[in-house]
Chain A
Amino acid sequence: MLKISNLHKSYAIGDSSLHVLKGINLDVENGEMVAIMGSSGSGKSTLLNIIGMLDEADSGDYILDGLPIKNLTEKKAAVYRNKFLGFIFQSFNLINYKNALENVALPLYYQGLKRKERQKQGKFHLEKVGLLDWAHHLPKELSGGQKQRVAIARALAANPKLLLADEPTGALDTTTSYEIMEFIQQLNDEGKTILIVTHEEDIAEMCKRIVRLRDGVIMEDKPVNQVRASQYV
């Protein structure tokens, strides 16, 4: 599904440059659920952003589902993001003047689907996250957990191959966090490949594999016994 080899990335800070990723090698198979861990500054978010084509690597190879991701034009990157990737953010990133259904349907708009079809699929995914009754509410009328579920529905709407979550529970309390994780585990059970960036051990334990980063290199890459979130809910 995902093959990364010898990936480097540095950021210019004033005159000097900060080497954030120093040769990352990572393979992710179909159906995996991987936690990327590390303290802040370890490069974990940068890695996720490069995987998500939100950012570009300086050197190294990145192959997603057989497609080399390199020197993409803005247009091509947009098409790939839309087709292959679903994003879940810590701060939800819903568009505040669009209601839940419109938010969920937005990726479908960029896929060029007809309005009717968008509405239908949007409703289907909202139902999947249990928020069909909230379809016409604005984000500000939803709780944090509900917002994240709308965001998950939106990430799923385009039927992506890979789901990328950047601290998906970072803005939520423990109970809600576990509810969200339970749902993400469910998606993985259904066969979705999922990458989660987190710095919380308990969240990482709920994945099937943990990759630990420190100072831009992978320190540890091990499979774990998945803790089911359902037991806490």
Chain B
Amino acid sequence: MFDIDLWREIFQSINKNRTRSLLSGLTVAFAILLFTILFGIVNGLINTFEEGFKDDAINNIVIYPGETSKAYKGLQAGRRIQLKNEDHNYILDEFGDKVEFMTSRVMKNVTATFRNEKNNYTIRAIHPDNLFIEQNEIKEGRYINQRDINDRTKVVIIGRMVEEDLFTKTTAVGKYLNLSGIQYKVVGVYTDEGGDDEERMLYIPITTAQLVYGNNDYVDMMYMTYNPEMDYDAALAFGVKMEKKLKNRFLIAPTDQRGIRVQNNAEGAKAVNAISFGLGLMALVIGFGTLIAGIVGISNMMIFIVKERTKEIGIRKALGAQPRQIISIIMIESIIITAIAGYVGLLIGVYVIKFSTPILADYFIKDPGVSNALVIGATLTLIAAGTLAGYLPAKRASRIKPIVALRDD
């Protein structure tokens, strides 16, 4: 049903009434522009935010031993607390169902040498569960496993950056790496989204470290993730209860803040979730807000346009225009203006976002942007709204008796 004369009529009407067309177009273009920019910025904020929490599992709990600051039960203040393997097992026995993954850690600084390359790194001696707690990805080879723990094997998993630093001419897996005088076999390479420093770590079995660096069963700290089926409040309660039990076990005063610390990410996670939710809600509100503003703008414009054209409609009807012809001429005009203006607004918005990305990066807005589908959806919504907003007044206009329209001077 392509009627060239109808289109000619419509384009003449748009072209000859430029102010009117421009004004209604501006409403739409501005709505889409705002939509794109605001949504883009919110997306950028969310990106920044999520990046900040990429490193470790979000349901982490860390246990640090320290020095007591209060005398308690005949013991003096200033006593060092030392965690041991039995404490690890105690926690698993006591809270097994609440713990998802758990690793103890021994830390050690070493100098690593491979052929002529040499550098200083930190060893983290761990249990296999560390993989999930640190959210490491295995790039090559394997991770520490239970057999390594049982047999106290001298193996090492190295970070991607370590491989780049030391293994310049060959691959690392299968080679022997000298860590401060002791040879370890490289059995795996891992990556970590937490940044370069996280990829400069060496992981060895904790039992190996305990044997080699002191022949004891000491543990520097413990990491675990709580069962993710627990909600935040249950997780917080779990942390509090565990701290209480540990203080009791080590004879630390309940009010002593230093003897042992349980740092529970559930506190942070609760806030993170709230902020994520808040940002998402903000994006939604902004999106709906601009869309509604646009819809209201278009509706106003259409009502105004029909009002302005009442007399013209009367003339056309007196000359023999049928209601359907009146409706289509007004509606198609509105759709064309909305579509073109929406596209222009979208283009401007996308370019504004694109060119301001480097500037916005200083304000914690990373990679702002809106998916094409979203913006096209928004434009289509506006077109639909414009159509609907145009249809009702156009329908009414088509029903006006010509005599009423013509009297309207």
Shortest CB distance A163–B (Å): 13
Contact call A79/B320, Cβ cutoff below 8 A: yes
CA distance A213 to B349 in the complex (A): 66
- Which residues of chain A from 61 to 87 have any CB-CB distance to chain B below 8 Å in the complex? 74-75, 78-79, 81-83, 87
List A contacts of B320 (CB < 8 A): 78-79, 81-83, 107, 110-111, 158
A54 on interface, CB distance cutoff 8 Å: yes
- Which residues of chain B from 132 to 148 have any CB-CB distance to chain A below 8 Å in the complex? none
Assess A109 versus B9: contact at CB under 8 Å? Given A49-B403, A93-B406: yes
Interface string of B8-30 (1 = CB under 8 A from A): 11001100110000000000000
List A contacts of B402 (CB < 8 A): 54
Contact call A78/B317, Cβ cutoff below 8 A: yes
Residue among A49, A54, A78, A97 making CB contact with B321, cutoff 8 Å: A78
Interface of B is mostly: helix
Which chain A residue shows the least CB distance to B403? A54
Contact call B323/A97, Cβ cutoff below 8 A: no
- The interface on chain A, measured as residues whose beta carbon lies within 8 A of the other chain's beta carbons, has a size of 28
Residue among B316, B401, B403, B409 making CB contact with A106, cutoff 8 Å: B316
CA distance A87 to B318 in the complex (A): 7
B109 on interface, CB distance cutoff 8 Å: no
B127 on interface, CB distance cutoff 8 Å: no
CA distance A158 to B321 in the complex (A): 13
A200 on interface, CB distance cutoff 8 Å: no
CA distance A219 to B320 in the complex (A): 33
List A contacts of B231 (CB < 8 A): none
17 intermolecular pairs with C-beta atoms under 8 Å apart: A55-B403, A74-B322, A75-B323, A78-B321, A81-B319, A82-B319, A87-B319, A91-B409, A93-B318, A97-B13, A106-B316, A107-B319, A109-B5, A110-B319, A110-B322, A154-B319, A158-B320
Interface, chain B (partner A; CB < 8 A): 4-5, 8-9, 12-13, 16-17, 311-312, 314-325, 398-399, 401-403, 406, 409
Interface, chain A (partner B; CB < 8 A): 49, 52, 54-55, 74-75, 78-79, 81-83, 87, 89, 91, 93-95, 97-98, 102, 106-107, 109-111, 115, 154, 158
9 nearest A-B pairs in the assembled complex, by CB-CB distance: A82-B320, A97-B16, A110-B320, A54-B403, A78-B322, A107-B319, A54-B402, A49-B403, A74-B323
